[in-house]
Amino acid sequence: MERLKAPFLGSFGTKTSEGITAPGVAAKKPKQQGPVAAGGEVIAASTNPANVGMSHIPQAAPQEALPQGMKGLNLRPDEARFQQALQPDMVSSQVFEGRVVEGEGRSGGHVITATAGNGASKQTYNYATERIVGNGSFGVVFQATCLETAETVAIKKVLQDKRFKNRELQIMKMVNHPNIVRLKQCFYSTTEKDETYLHLVLEFVPDTVYRISKSYSKNNQRMPPIFVKLYTYQMCRALGHIHKYGICHRDIKPQNLLVNTENHQLKLCDFGSAKVLIKGEPNISYICSRYYRAPELIFGATDYTSAIDVWSVGCVLAELMLGQPMFPGESGVDQLVEIIKVLGTPTKEEIHAMNPNYTEFKFPQIKPHPWTKVFSKRMPPDAIDLVSRLLQYAPQKRYSAYQAMTHPFFDELRDPATLLPNGKALPPLFNWLPGELDEVPADIVAKLQPRAASS
């Protein structure tokens, strides 16, 4: 396949490090600031070319010491609790008032003591911090054990801007789903410098799709098709649920897909970039990790929809099938080049669908590369067909998350006789929550149901 270079995009608009703006529109440099705040679109840029969003979490060595910021914290009552009315099938999480003390935490860690309520209703939880499991521009994530229940949890600590409510916390309180990591508790703390930190106590899930995929690649193996189907299906189910409430995740990637390898249940995590998209309200386009970034974002669209998540699903699915990223762009503009090498030059109508600000353009005509040549000849046709329906230039032409779940690629999961390679049962796939499918078209709901067991 011919290697195209980014400069051929020059007549298309103004090039920036991570995208292009429409002709006549001044290029804006992305702000490299703190975490996304509920009151505005502020995002931190990653230095890793494959991970532009702020949620990339590099794995840390188990023996790494806990940060100094964990010491000397005084927890205080939450002064701006989230008061949003929740839907019947949503769940609220209590905000704890408490304090941090030095203690005999395991592996040289500390004990976090969090309390809520007063008098007879007062509850206290102690968390023994064990090791850092991730860190990034957003803050730090560490593994801990609740001493009262012996349960292992993940605690995500982020710096809180006092001017805003934390959007991630608001959204985590709204979602309750088998395929979304569960928020158990949360509490605030202040340091001697009067810095406020939010601690999100989350269920701990030991592995990620990223690490599982890398393990197969290192051994020159392809991920078993049943796992590709399970992970993609559950990812779509999680997205179908949040999209119903207008929530867009905006950073779908293998690192944010947690997996319990005992039964291969998947949990979507890291809602640090997530946002409720409101029609007519602008959003930043400098979002989503690069390899998984939808083309409308590269074109600088600010009125995008949850279809950007669906594009990311297509990229993840293709990566699991190929054993490597589908579109490994070295920059935002080069990302578009990688996409064009496969999908061909977008038509005028497709460009308008991605960003209406583009009215006139000059663009070399590149023919699309046949999907059958992108993937191995041994790749099942239904797998290739699903990828092609997710990776469409025009956002409105992409499958919705629930539509994708009905695709024949997943029919094996609807067969009651299907088991995991070790002979164990599949994870729960059809345990629909009350109201989960209420707004889904009837024809799609019918196709989502498992087949009846043969007698």
pLDDT in tens, 220-276: 999 999 999 999 999 999 999 999 999 999 999 999 999 999 999 999 999 999 999
| DSSP character at residue 46 | P
pTM: 0.81
**Could you say which DSSP state residue 197 is in?**
E
Give 143-193 pLDDT, tens digit per residue.
999 999 999 999 999 998 877 789 999 999 999 999 999 999 988 888 888
Residue 42 lies in a domain: no
Positions annotated as catalytic residues are 251
Domain annotation covers residue 61: no
Stretch among 54-68, 126-140, 235-249 having the lowest mean pLDDT: 54-68
For 70-96, write each residue's pLDDT tens digit: 443 333 333 233 333 333 333 444 445
242 and 163, same domain (yes or no): no
Note whether residue 15 is domain-resident: no
Q: Is 190 exposed, middle or buried (0-12, 13-18, 19+ CB in 10 A)?
A: middle
Question: Does residue 72 sit in the same domain as residue 141?
Answer: yes
Residue 38 banded pLDDT, cuts 50, 70, 90: very low
Q: In this predicted structure, what is the pLDDT of residue 120?
A: 72
Residue 358: the pLDDT is: 77
Q: What was the pLDDT predicted at 18?
A: 54
235 and 133 in a single domain? The answer is no
Residue 266 has, within 13 A of its CA and on its CB side, a CA count of 24
Domain holding 334: CATH number? 1.10.510.10
Last residue of a domain, one of 146, 176, 203: 203
pLDDT at 300 (0 to 100): 92
Q: Looking at the domain assignment, is residue 5 inside a domain?
A: no
CA atoms within 13 A on the CB side of 122: 9
Digit-coded pLDDT (tens) for 387-403: 999 999 999 999 999 99
- What is the dihedral angle through the alpha carbons of 225, 230, 233, 236, rounded to the nearest 10 degrees? -120
Find, among 108, 188, 163, 154, the residue nearest to 256 by Cα: 154
In this prediction, residue 359 carries a pLDDT of 65
* Predicted local distance difference test score (pLDDT) of residue 41: 57
Q: How far is CA 61 from CA 65, 106, 133, 135, 145, in A?
A: 9, 15, 8, 11, 18
The amino acid at residue 326 is: M
Pair 190, 214 in one domain: no
Work out whether strand 275-276 and strand 123-136 pair parallel, antiparallel, or are unpaired.
Answer: unpaired
199 shares a domain with 283: no
DSSP string of 332-385, one letter each residue: HHHHHHHHHHHH-SPPHHHHHHH-TT---------PPPPHHHHS-TTS-HHHHH
Residue 285 is assigned to a structural domain of this protein: yes
Domain assignment present for 307: yes
Do both 135 and 73 map to the same domain? yes
Residue 454 lies in a domain: no
**Which H helix or E strand runs over 116?**
strand 111-116
pLDDT tens by residue, 90-108: 344 444 544 554 433 344 4
pLDDT above 80 (res 37): no
Based on the structure, what is the number of domains in the chain? 2
Predicted pLDDT at 19: 57
Rounded (5°) CA angle 125-126-132 = 125
pLDDT of 375 reads 94
pLDDT cut 90: percent of the chain above it: 61
* Residue ending a domain, choose from 203, 218, 245: 203
Q: In terms of domains, do 169 and 280 share one?
A: no
- What's 151's domain CATH number? 3.30.200.20
Say how many CA atoms lie within 13 Å of 27 toward its Cβ. 13
For tokens 């975490």, name the residue.
35
Q: What angle do CA 92, 95, 99 make, to 5 degrees?
A: 160
Closest CA to 318 of 343, 301, 288: 343
Residues 165 and 230 reside in one and the same domain: no
| 193 labeled binding residue | no
The single-letter code of the amino acid at 58 is P
Domain boundary among 188, 203, 218: 203
Residues 305, 220: contact at Cβ < 8 Å?
A: no
Model confidence at 66: pLDDT above 90:
no
Cα–Cα distance, 325 to 322 (Å, whole number): 7
Residues 310 and 400 sit within 8 Å (Cβ to Cβ):
yes
Q: Which domain holds residue 421?
A: 206-448
- Same structural domain for residues 210 and 198? no
Residue 46: inside a domain: no
Residue for token digits 């995500």?
156
